[in-house]
Amino acid sequence: MPIFEFVCEECDQFFEELVRSASAIGEVICPGCQSESVQKKLSTFASKVAGSSSFSPSTSVPSCSPGGL
């Protein structure tokens, strides 16, 4: 069951709703003003590219060499 983002055309409130099926999108009502005049927003998402890292070598902690200072 996907979560969709909506905006109310009456009170301009943004909200998210868990929708059981594509046909149930027409049954969504605004939680603020109870209006049925809601519009599904185009949602964006973030993804991480496999193998990428936010670790920067310039901020790495120096390693200790075995056997002394």
pLDDT in tens, the chain (69 residues): 788 999 999 999 999 999 888 888 889 999 999 999 999 998 676 667 776 565 555 554 555 556 555
* Annotated domain spans of the chain: 1-43
Exposed/middle/buried for residue 35 (C-beta within 10 Å: 0-12, 13-18, 19+): middle
Give the 3-state secondary structure of residue 57.
helix
SS3 content of the chain, % helix, strand, coil (to 5): 15, 20, 65
pTM exceeds cut of 0.85: no
- Give the architecture (CATH level 2) of 1-43: Single Sheet (2.20)
